[in-house]
Amino acid sequence: MGLDRTWYNALVDDTGASDGTVISKSHFDALLDSIEAQLKPTITWSMPEGVSSPSPAAEFSALRGSWSVANYDGATQSEHRSFVGRLPLTYNSGGITVTLVICAVSATSGTSRWIAAFERMVPGTLDADVDDFATGQSAGVAMTAGSAGVFFEVTITFTNGQIDGLLAGELFRLKITRDPLGTTGTDDIGTDVSLVGVSMRET
C-alpha cells in the first residue's frame, strides 16, 4: 500500500511558504513522494547465484577477472538465462524497472540490445514443461567507453500489465535475452557481451 496522505490535511496549508514556518501541502507531498520512492522494494541478482541457465552453450557461464558473468553470443543466436524470484509482499501494483549490468567481452564500442520477460509461477497451473512468458520488453545501450570490460547499465521498463499478472508475494521467472539480430532495435556488436547482474525495482 502507498503512504496514507489523508491524515495531514488539517496540518498543512496550501498557501504556506517553504521557509519552515508553515509547510505547504505541495511541499509535504513532495517529501512523501521521496520517502515512498525509497521504500519501494528492490530485488537484486548476481551470477550465478539464484540463476538457472537453459542455454546449451558450454561457454555461457564464465569469469571476467574475478566476476562471474554470463556470455551472450553476438550476431549468431539469441541466448537467454532465467532468474527465479518472489515479488515482495510490499509490492504496490506499480510498474517494474529491470536494470541489467553488462560489459563487452572484446568490443570497444557499439550498441547492445536486450529483452526481458516475466513468467508468473502459479501453483496448480504452470507446467514446468511449457514456457509461458509474457511478451518481452526491450532496450539497448551504447557502449562507448573505448575499451572492453567497462560496465554499462540497460534499463528496461514494464507497466503492471506487462509482468504476466504478477501479484505481491508470488514466485516468477525473469528471462533475460540478448537480441544480437536486432529484431527489437539496434545491436551492432558482433562479438560476445557479458551479463554481470540483474536488479528490479518497483517504479
Coil, strand or helix at 93: coil
- Across all residues in the chain, what is the average pLDDT? 79
What confidence score (pLDDT) does residue 65 get? 79
Q: Is 47 exposed, middle or buried (0-12, 13-18, 19+ CB in 10 A)?
A: buried
What confidence score (pLDDT) does residue 28 get? 63
Please tell me whether residues 31 and 63 are part of one structural domain. no
Q: Give the pLDDT confidence of 5-31 residue by residue, as tens digits.
A: 454 444 455 555 445 455 666 766 666
pLDDT band, residue 33 (cuts 50/70/90): low
Residue range(s) defining the domain that contains residue 192: 40-202
Q: How far, in Å, are 85, 143, 199 from residue 195 at the CA level?
A: 18, 13, 12
3 part of a folded domain: no
Domain count of the fold of the chain? 2
Looking up residue 118, the CATH number of its domain turns out to be 2.60.120.260
What confidence score (pLDDT) does residue 23 get? 63
Higher pLDDT, 163 or 86: 163
The C-alpha cell at 87 is 515479488
Partner residues linked to 120 by β-bridges = 172
Cell 555461457 maps to which residue?
Answer: 60
Please tell me whether residues 121 and 164 are part of one structural domain. yes
Please tell me whether residues 22 and 79 are part of one structural domain. no
Please tell me whether residues 74 and 23 are part of one structural domain. no
Among candidate residues 198, 180, 163, 177, the one with its CA nearest the CA of residue 54:
177
What confidence score (pLDDT) does residue 98 get? 93
188 part of a folded domain: yes
Contact yes or no for 176/79 (Cβ under 8 A): no
Q: How far, in Å, are 35, 120, 142, 200 from residue 131 at the CA level?
A: 38, 10, 31, 21
Average pLDDT over residues 95-111: 92
Q: Whole-angstrom Cα distance, residue 120 to residue 96?
A: 14
161 part of a folded domain: yes
Among candidate residues 172, 154, 153, the one with its CA nearest the CA of residue 162:
172
DSSP structure string for 113-178: EEEEEEEE--TTT--TTS--PPPPEEEEEE--SSSTT--EEEEEEE-GGGSTT--TT-EEEEEEEE
